Amino acid sequence: MNMNFNQLKSLGIVKCFGPQIQTVTALMFHSKNVCKDSMFFCIRGENTDGNCYVEEAIESGANSVVSDKEEDLQKWSRKYPCCSFLLVKDVRKAMAYIAKHFNHRADETLKTIGVTGTNGKTTVSSYVRSLLNLLNMPTGLIGTTGIWTSKEKIAYRKSTPTTPESIDLHQIFHMLEQHGDKAVSMEVSSIALDQMRVEGILYDVAIHTNFSEEHLEYHKTIDHYKKCKLQLFKQTKCAVINLDDAGMGADILQRFDGPFLTYSLREESEADLKASEINVSDNGTTFYLNYLGECYPVYVPIFGNYNIANILSAAGAAVLLGYTMKQIINVLPRLESPEGRFQVIEAPDAAKIILDYAHTPVAITRLVEEVKKIKYNRLILMIAGIGIRDFNKMPKMAAAIDGQADEVVVTVDHPGYHDPQEIVNQVVKGFAEPNAPNIHTALTRKEGVLKALQLAGEGDLILLTSGCINNAQIVKGKEIPHSDEEIIQAHYL
C-alpha cells in the first residue's frame, strides 16, 4: 500500500522524520518477522521493548518505524535517511488504526459480534458463529479454538491465545471478507481491551457472559480487570447482558445507553430472554425459551445449564441483528459446540470421557455440577495449574472440586518458565487433605491425561479440564504441540 504519512494524521501520527511517502507491504511488531518494505511498530511487552530492535528491523527490510520516542527517531533518521520514522503518542493505539487502514477497514463491512466475560467466551462466540451460519449469514470466528471462516478452520499462527494483536486481527477481518463471510464472532479478552488490540472497532453487538476473579497476574486488582471488561460496552452499537451475573451485569446496565437485551435462567427474572423447565438427557437438553410473552419449546444438542444461558446470549445477538425468534428456534437443534467444550468421547470400555477446558474455580464448579447429572460409576477428574496465569488462583481450583470426585489428577498446563513441580504444589495446597490416596499428580499434561485414563474402569466418567490453548503447551516461550484427543486415541489403540 502506498502511504502518504502527511495524509494519515488521523491515524495517530504526530510527526514524520524522513520521507513522507513509502510503499508499505506488511505491518510487523516482531523484528524477526520483518520483511522487505515492512512498517515496524516499537511496542513494549512484559520483557522486551521494540525500540531496542529498530536497527534489526531496518536491516531486515523495514522502511518505516513507529515509536513514541522522539529523540530515538531523530537519531535513527539521521543514520537511515531512506526510511521514515513516525512519532505517535501511543504505539498500540496507532498500530490498531494503521492496521485498520492497511486492511481497507474490513471490520466495517462485516457484522462484528464481540464476547467478553470471565467464563463462556469461547462457547458463546462459537454458538454465535454456528447460529448465524444456520441463519444463512456466513460468519467466521476468532478465539481460543483458532481462526475459522464460515466453512472451515484455517491455518493462522495467532499472536496471542485469545484476541490477536491488532495487526493480525485486521488481517483476519480482511481474510474473512475475501472468503465471502458477512460477519465475525470473536472473543474479546480484558487484556486485549487494555492493550488496545480492538481499538477503533465499533461492534454491532457486544455480549456479556459473567464476571469473577481472573487474570490478576496481569491486572493486579479486580477493579482494573472489571474496568477493562466494561470498555467493550463503550464501543458497541448493541449489547446482550446477563441479568444473573452479580459481578458486572448491573455495571453494564448503568453505563450502556444503546439498544440491549437481557437474559436469565431465573423464571422470576424480568429479563428479555428466559429459560425454564430445563431437562437434560443423554442426547442433549430441552427447555422453554420465553421472549416477548411467547414461550417456545427448544431442543439443543448440548449439555449444562450454564450452556443454556450461553445459548440465550447467542439468540439475543441474533435478534439484535434482525432475526426473528421463530427463525432462531427452528435452527437451534443443529447448533454446533466448540472444540474442547463439554466434548463427549466414548471409550471402548464403556467409560465416558468429557473434554472441557474450564480453568477458573467458578467454571470448574459449574462444570462438575452438570457432569454429575450424567450416569456413571466413578468420576475421575483432572485439573491443572496454568503456569502462565495467576498462581493465587491455583489452590482455589482445588478447593472448588475438593471431595467432588472419586479420583483427582493434578497436572500442569503451559508451565511457561516455571518449574512444573512448583505449579502442582501450589494447586494441591487447596485440598483439605493434599496427601489423600485419591489425589494423584503428574508434571506434564500428557502424563496427567494418561494417568486419568489408567485410573478409569468400566462405566467410569473421565473429566479432563483446564487450559490446553491452541493445541499446544507453552514451555519456556515455545509452543509444544499437544492434543488430548490424540493421546486418548493412542491409549485405546
Residue numbers of the domain that contains 138 = 103-334
pLDDT of amino acid 243: 97
Look at residue 215 in the predicted model and tell me its pLDDT.
Answer: 66
| Pair type for strands 146-148 and 153-154 | antiparallel
Q: Exposure string (b/e) for 58-97, b if CB count within 10 Å is 16 or more?
A: bebebbbbbbbbeebbeebbeebeebbbbbbeebbbbbbb
DSSP state of 276: E
Listed in sequence order, the DSSP H helices in 212-360 are 216-219, 222-231, 249-255, 305-320, 325-331
The per-residue pLDDT for 140 is 98
Assess whether 169 and 305 both reside in one domain.
yes
> How many domains are contained in the chain?
3
Does some domain include residue 272?
yes
What's the CATH code of the domain at 258?
3.40.1190.10
Q: Given this model, what pLDDT does residue 477 score?
A: 78
Do 160 and 302 reside in the same domain of the chain? yes
- Cross-strand bridge partners of residue 49: 44
**What amino acid is encoded at 192 in this protein?**
A
DSSP 453-468: HHH--TT-EEEEES--
Do residues 177 and 325 both lie within one domain? yes
Strands (E), 7-118: 13-17, 21-23, 26-28, 38-41, 64-67, 84-88, 111-116
| Sole residue written with cell 522486551 | 48
Residues 6+ apart with CB under 8 A from 383: 364, 397, 398, 401, 408, 409, 410, 411, 427, 465, 466
Same domain, 266 and 355: no
CA-to-CA dists, residue 57 to 2, 70, 80, 338, 362, angstroms? 20, 18, 12, 38, 44
- What integer pLDDT is reported at residue 347 of this predicted model? 82
Summarize the chain as % helix, strand, coil (round to 5).
Answer: 35, 25, 35
Q: What is the pTM of this model?
A: 0.87
Using CA atoms, how far residue 121 sits from 105, 298, 477, in Å, is 25, 22, 25
* pLDDT at residue 156 in the model: 82
- pLDDT computed for residue 82 by the predictor: 96
| pLDDT attached to residue 492 | 86
Encode the chain (493 residues) as per-residue pLDDT tens digits.
999 998 888 899 999 999 999 999 999 999 999 999 999 999 987 778 999 999 999 999 999 999 999 999 999 999 999 999 999 999 999 999 999 999 999 999 999 999 999 888 999 999 999 999 999 999 999 998 889 999 999 988 777 778 999 999 999 999 999 999 999 999 999 999 999 999 999 999 999 999 986 766 777 899 999 999 999 999 999 999 999 999 999 999 999 999 999 999 998 999 999 999 999 887 889 999 999 999 999 999 998 888 999 999 999 999 999 999 999 999 999 999 888 788 888 888 768 899 988 888 888 998 999 898 888 999 999 999 988 777 888 999 999 999 999 999 999 998 888 999 999 999 999 999 999 999 999 999 999 999 999 999 999 999 999 866 667 888 887 888 899 999 999 998 7
Lookup: cell for 128: 454465535
CATH number of the domain to which 19 belongs:
3.40.1390.10
Q: Are 295 and 325 in contact (CB under 8 A)?
A: no
Element housing 398 (H / E):
helix 394-401
Which of 287, 315, 334 represents a domain boundary (last residue)? 334
On whether both 299 and 431 belong to a single domain, the answer is no
Last-in-domain residue among 334, 368, 403:
334
Q: What's residue 177's pLDDT?
A: 97
End residue of a domain, out of 46, 61, 91: 91
pLDDT of residue 213: 67
Query: Are residues 79 and 125 located together in one domain of the fold?
Result: no
